[in-house]
């Protein structure tokens, strides 16, 4: 995997823009769910969630990504109303404490997206790439907010039974289907400058199927959009460890994967643990600055 020359973009959000490329941005994960794969139940209480959100911001998170519905394998779907009851009070509390915080909402429900943006969120992060709610594309176009389009292969209840992918099948599939999602978004009226793409590590790619995607991450640059990498605590990293239960093993693996993704062109890291991601990004950005001497330096 060569070191990529990371292109620069101006990511247009609801009320502001973020410069993507001069340095890696870190998106902190806040799951207000009882059943997420690594932190389910920890942040259901709005007061606990607020404390964690503020700590992530203090640790250097550029964006907070707030979700109320788990998408782990075999997750039980919930209604948009239940999702809203979990996340909207937390969203309001964060913005009351830190009005300038950039908040993203991890949802596949158009009505949740609308209400969250009206409450002050800047970004909709749709893991289905606008596929699971027929109203989502038009809603995002109307809201004129930032949009993360992720590649998902099937739905969570289908992942364990999907046919295996050969190593040479993974990247072509992701490239083709992300390109389809981009065309659908643009056709619905979503502006190009509002879109970031996420190849969806772990979402329908089973265990070792994710390594070809990471090894060829630089080729996603052919789509000519900013790229987000969501590698934090993913099962394929744990599966690759020789001592997966040892303290800090999964965090170490996440840091290694995050560094590889940055050097291959990732503009944004989506992570549970902000501080180690910031450290990894600072180092990787310095390497990128040397590899591309005309680019601005990192942190």
User: What pLDDT shows up at residue 74?
Assistant: 66
Catalytic: 205? no
Determine the average pLDDT of the residues in 151-172.
93
pLDDT of 37: 54
**Which whole number is the average pLDDT over 277-283?**
97
pLDDT of residue 298: 44
**pLDDT for position 299:** 46
pLDDT, averaged across the chain: 92
- Of the residues 270, 275, 278, 286, only one is catalytic, namely 270
pLDDT for the residue numbered 70: 81
What per-residue confidence (pLDDT) applies to 12?
A: 98
pLDDT score for 1: 61
pLDDT class of 294 with cuts at 50, 70, 90: low
Rounded to an integer, the average pLDDT of 169-175 is 98
pLDDT band of residue 246 (cuts 50, 70, 90) is confident
pLDDT tens-place string over residues 189-212: 999 999 999 999 999 999 999 999
Active-site choice (6, 12, 234, 278): 234
The yes-or-no verdict on residue 42 having pLDDT over 70 is no
Question: Which is higher by pLDDT, 2 or 272?
Answer: 272
Share of the chain above pLDDT 90, in %: 81
Phi/psi region, residue 280 (left: phi>0; alpha: psi -120 to 50; beta: rest), is alpha
Span 77-84, mean pLDDT?
89
What's the pLDDT at 44? 64
The whole-number pLDDT of residue 78 equals: 83
Confidence of residue 160 (pLDDT cuts 50, 70, 90): confident
**What's the pLDDT score for residue 46?**
84
Confirm whether 234 is a catalytic residue.
yes
Question: Mind listing the domains of the chain with CATH numbers?
Answer: 9-291 (3.20.20.20)
pLDDT score of 111 more than 80: yes
pLDDT band at 225 (very low <50, low <70, confident <90, very high): very high
């Amino acid at each position: 995997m060569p070191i990529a020359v990371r292109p620069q973009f101006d990511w247009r959000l609801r009320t502001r823009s973020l410069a993507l490329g001069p340095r890696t941005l870190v998106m902190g994960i806040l799951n207000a769910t009882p059943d997420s794969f690594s932190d389910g139940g920890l942040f259901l209480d709005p007061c606990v969630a607020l404390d964690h959100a503020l700590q992530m911001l203090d640790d250097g998170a550029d964006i907070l990504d707030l979700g109320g519905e788990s998408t782990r394998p075999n997750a039980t779907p919930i209604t948009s109303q239940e999702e809203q009851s979990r996340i909207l009070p937390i969203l309001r509390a964060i913005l009351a404490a830190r009005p300038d915080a950039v908040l993203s909402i991890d949802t596949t429900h158009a009505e949740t997206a609308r209400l969250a943006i009206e409450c002050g969120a800047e970004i909709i992060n749709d893991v289905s790439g606008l596929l699971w709610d027929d109203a989502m594309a038009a809603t995002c176009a109307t809201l004129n907010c930032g949009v993360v389009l992720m590649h998902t292969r099937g739905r969570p209840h289908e992942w364990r039974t999907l046919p295996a992918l050969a190593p040479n099948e993974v990247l072509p599939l992701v490239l083709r289907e992300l390109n389809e999602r981009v065309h659908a978004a643009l056709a619905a009226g979503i502006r190009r400058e509002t879109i970031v793409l996420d190849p969806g590590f772990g979402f329908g790619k089973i265990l070792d199927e994710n390594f070809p995607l990471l090894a060829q991450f630089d080729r996603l640059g052919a789509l000519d959009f900013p790229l987000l990498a969501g590698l934090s605590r993913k099962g394929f990293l744990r599966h690759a460890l020789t001592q997966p239960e040892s303290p800090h093993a999964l965090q170490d693996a996440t840091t290694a994967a995050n560094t590889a993704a940055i050097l291959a062109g990732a503009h944004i890291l989506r992570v549970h643990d902000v501080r180690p991601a910031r450290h990894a990004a600072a180092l990787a950005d310095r390497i990128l600055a040397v590899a591309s001497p005309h680019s601005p330096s990192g942190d």
